[in-house]
Amino acid sequence: MVLDRARLGRSFAVAGAGLARAWATQPNLRIEVVIGLLALGLAAWLEAPAAPILLACALVLALELMNSAVEAVVDLASPQLHPLAGTAKDLAAAAVLTASIGAVVVGLVVLGPPLLTRVGAWLGAP
């Protein structure tokens, strides 16, 4: 299989445009990016493994992008209110919520013990 560099370049350009549009129009994405960066900063400060935090953040952001895509397609296909349109949007949002809860659990498991150790040392605990 021959690599078509022009096609690959266009694919990356289209994906980049999608990210830029999402950044400009989706406040939840911006909030999730900030929270993810804070979690990664905390991992670095605690010298805790960043890979699980990074993967959890990537999952949340990917699902947020898919949620935005589902909402756009549903709005296009059903501009008027319809129960199935609402169900599709609710389920896509629930996927983001589920991943976000999972990311919090990952954060607690990975960052909790070193944070407690650090706080205990500040408080003079043995």
pTM for this entry: 0.90
- The one catalytic residue among 32, 47, 64, 71: 64
Print pLDDT tens along the chain (126 aa). 678 889 999 999 999 999 999 999 999 999 999 999 999 999 999 999 999 999 999 999 999 999 999 999 999 999 999 999 999 999 999 999 999 999 999 999 999 999 999 998 888 866
Q: Give domain status of residue 15, yes or no.
A: no
CA-to-CA dists, residue 41 to 50, 54, 59, 64, 99, angstroms: 9, 11, 18, 22, 20
Q: Give domain status of residue 110, yes or no.
A: yes
Q: Give domain status of residue 116, yes or no.
A: yes
Q: What is the pLDDT of residue 115?
A: 96
Examine the residue annotation and report whether 64 is marked as an active-site residue of this protein: yes
- Tell me, what CATH number does 55's domain have? 1.10.287.3610
Number of structural domains the chain divides into: 1
